[in-house]
Copies of this chain bind each other. A is one copy, B any other.
């Protein structure tokens, strides 16, 4: 698996609009296991996205999907910048494939 955790900084007042664009643009992406969009409770202009993919390749390929390209084009003017961006290796959790962890 491959994962990303990232913070998106919206232009002021545009968080709900950007959230809707992200939510509509990220459905049905092949290889996407989980994609949680969450509002920062302490920063009214920040969105956190936690992504889980079956592989880094699937994530990379998603960026070329027409639906994702359209979402990026609509989202770009509403993005003021980015905060943290962490690449991860998701290992366990409800909804993820069984990890084969030691007992």
Contact = CB atoms under 8 A, between A and B. Distances in A.
A19 interface: yes
Count class of interface residues, chain A: 35 or more
A100 to B, nearest CB: 10
Interface in A41-81: 41-42, 48, 50, 52
A87 B5 contact: no
Interface in A77-103: 84, 86-96, 99, 101-103
B103 A36 contact: no
The 4 closest A-B pairs by CB, nearest first: A38-B88, A23-B92, A50-B50, A41-B87
18 contacts: A3-B36, A3-B38, A19-B92, A20-B101, A23-B101, A24-B103, A27-B94, A34-B95, A35-B94, A36-B93, A36-B95, A38-B52, A38-B90, A40-B86, A41-B86, A41-B87, A41-B89, A48-B86
